[in-house]
């Protein structure tokens, strides 16, 4: 089925960016008014018959905000979800996060990455560490930064670990 995609650019301080109410470089240099962020660290356990686990956030922490979830691959090496882990000698694992801002619940599903049914975990009590970054946004301003790199997000919002 054919589809049509339209995009436009505007010139802003000698940089081209998509047309819209984007934050300017001046906004980013001076900090976006009204934007704050907070981190929540949590661990979830999986097992032979458990491939879905959930974390309940504090009341009113996610409603109307943007939430990014990161997985610690080890030694505080944070990667944004969704993430595909494929370590030699282990079953590949897809990590998928779902954030429900109404129930304040972050659900992380782990699926086998080899197209086989069942849990990717061969033992019980496999614990993984996660970090949620909840950003309180100013309506109408789009931040053009890349949020995949946790360390850049941490520096951007002066987050404390």
Hey, where are the domains in the chain? 35-156
pLDDT in tens, 35-47: 678 999 999 999 9
Task: Give the β-pairing of 93-100 and 83-85.
Answer: antiparallel
E strand map for the chain: 9-12, 15-18, 36-46, 52-56, 66-72, 78-80, 83-85, 93-100, 105-112, 126-136
Model pTM greater than 0.85?
A: no
Residue among 127, 121, 136 at smallest CA distance from 41: 127
The Cα 138–Cα 46 span in angstroms is 37
Residues of the chain with pLDDT > 90, as a percent, come to 47
29 token code pair: 């240099």
């Amino acid at each position: 089925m054919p589809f049509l995609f339209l995009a436009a650019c505007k010139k802003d301080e000698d940089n081209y960016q998509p047309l819209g109410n984007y934050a300017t470089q001046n906004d980013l240099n001076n900090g976006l008014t009204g934007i704050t962020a907070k981190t929540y660290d949590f661990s979830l356990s999986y097992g032979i018959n458990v491939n879905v686990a959930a974390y309940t956030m504090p009341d009113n922490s996610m409603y109307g905000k943007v939430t990014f979830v990161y997985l610690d691959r080890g030694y505080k090496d944070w990667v944004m979800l969704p993430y595909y882990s494929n370590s030699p000698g282990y079953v590949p694992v897809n990590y998928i996060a779902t954030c429900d801002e109404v129930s304040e619940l972050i659900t992380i599903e782990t699926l086998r990455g080899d197209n086989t049914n069942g849990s990717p975990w061969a033992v019980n009590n496999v614990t993984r560490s996660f970090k949620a970054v909840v950003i309180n946004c100013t309506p109408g301003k789009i931040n053009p930064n890349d949020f995949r790199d946790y360390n850049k997000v941490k520096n951007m919002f002066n987050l404390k670990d």
